[in-house]
Amino acid sequence: MTPSVNAEATRLLDFNHHLLDQALGLVAAHERPGAPPFATPAGAHLRHVIEHYEALLIPRRPGTVDYDSRRRDPEVERSPRAARARLQALQQCLQLWRDAALGAVLQVRGQGGTAGEFGFEVASTLGRELAFLASHTVHHFALLKPHCLQHHLAVDADFGKAPATVAHERARDTAPTPTLMKEIPCHNALSAV
């Protein structure tokens, strides 16, 4: 049975909320004595993530998301306190979306081309953009994982791993050892030509 739209919305919102919790954990890890500087690379990545969430959750124009036209606030990049405040504000916004309709239509604006030489606008949905933000955030966390490991920063074991990767690894670790299959020769499609 397929879950209801409200159940799917709740799970997707909870997933994004959890990712923002992970970001808050990273901020807290940088505030501990002996922690590495926040600005590079953690602050830069978190600023980028925060501003993408703000583009969707607090749009300049209702019904339009523009990830490329961001403030790029250097204070969020330098200050764990500023980053924490913005992350907490985003979590409060997500809390208000408990019954969000994933199918709500949005227009996504941006810049295209290798040098941003043209603008574009495409239709999307709230659900699609929440899924994008989650994937985008996990990607940036993956880029930060080596920094966290190098500086012994406490983060979740699955920090920076795609959900499908985590599920695959867990299934692999609990699956019985496969038996060896008899080698089957490959058919060369070109040999028939």
Task: For domain 5-164, say whether CATH 1.10.3470 is its number.
Answer: no
Distance CA 67, CA 77 (A): 17
What residues does each domain of the chain span?
Answer: 5-164
Checking phi first, is residue 122 left (phi over 0); if not, alpha (psi -120 to 50) or beta?
beta
pLDDT digits (tens, 9 = 90+) for 142-168: 999 999 999 999 888 899 999 999 999
Phi, psi of 47 (to 5 degrees): -60, -45
pLDDT digits (tens, 9 = 90+) for 114-142: 999 999 999 999 999 999 999 999 999 99
The owner of tokens 């996990």 is: 138
More confident residue, 78 or 182: 78
Give the pLDDT score at 1: 44
Q: To the nearest whole number, what is the mean pLDDT of the chain?
A: 89
Helices (H), 5-99: 5-31, 44-57, 74-78, 80-96
Give the pLDDT score at 71: 84
Q: How far is CA 106 from CA 16, 17, 130, in A?
A: 18, 21, 12
The owner of tokens 């940088």 is: 30
Q: Which amino acid is at 118?
A: F
Q: Any idea what DSSP says for residue 67?
A: S
Distance CA 36, CA 49 (A): 20
Give the pLDDT score at 183: 63
Global confidence as pTM:
0.86
What angle separates helix 5-31 from helix 44-57, to the nearest 10 degrees?
A: 150
